Amino acid sequence: MADKKKSKKIVKTKFTQGKKSGKYKKKIIVLFSMVVVLGIIISLMNFFLEVGKTDNGESCVRVQTTCCSCRSGGEEVCVLESEKVDYAINQSECSERRICVQMFNCNPGSCENVDGVCGFIEE
């Protein structure tokens, strides 16, 4: 009688294969990370959209946010009058020897409250 070798067939699934299961784990980790980052981005967007929002009809004002005025390349924003102190630059912190660019950077129009949001309205 001849020796017959019995061969066992091993069925491999994607969870028993070493290389492929690592790929699936990496894909799940990447997908989870993307969902977390997307959640953080959406939260930050909501936060920044709420800044300057008013419901009580409070007036909005222009505020210089840099040491140089907007007529000298500086920046200005339109904020609630109650938040003016939070955004305004303290001129005592600016150097007396500062150099400002002679560039007109002022926002045209007036600073107004429109639908509860402070913004510049072109005239």
44 and 87 assigned to the same domain: no
| Domain finish residue from 24, 50, 76 | 50
Q: Are strands 76-80 and 110-114 parallel, antiparallel or unpaired?
A: unpaired
37 and 85 assigned to the same domain: no
Which domain range does residue 78 map to? 60-121
Confidence (pLDDT) at 18: 52
Q: How many domains does the chain have?
A: 2
Confidence (pLDDT) at 115: 77
Residue 31 lies in a domain: yes
Entry pTM: 0.47
Confidence (pLDDT) at 13: 58
45 and 70 assigned to the same domain: no
> With left for phi above 0 and alpha for psi between -120 and 50, is residue 87 left, alpha or beta?
alpha
71 and 108 assigned to the same domain: yes
pLDDT in tens, the chain (123 residues): 555 555 666 655 555 555 556 677 888 888 888 888 888 887 777 666 655 555 566 788 888 888 888 888 888 888 888 888 888 877 778 888 888 888 888 888 888 887 778 888 876
Q: Which positions ≥6 away from 84 have C-beta within 8 Å?
A: 61, 63
Residue 2 lies in a domain: no
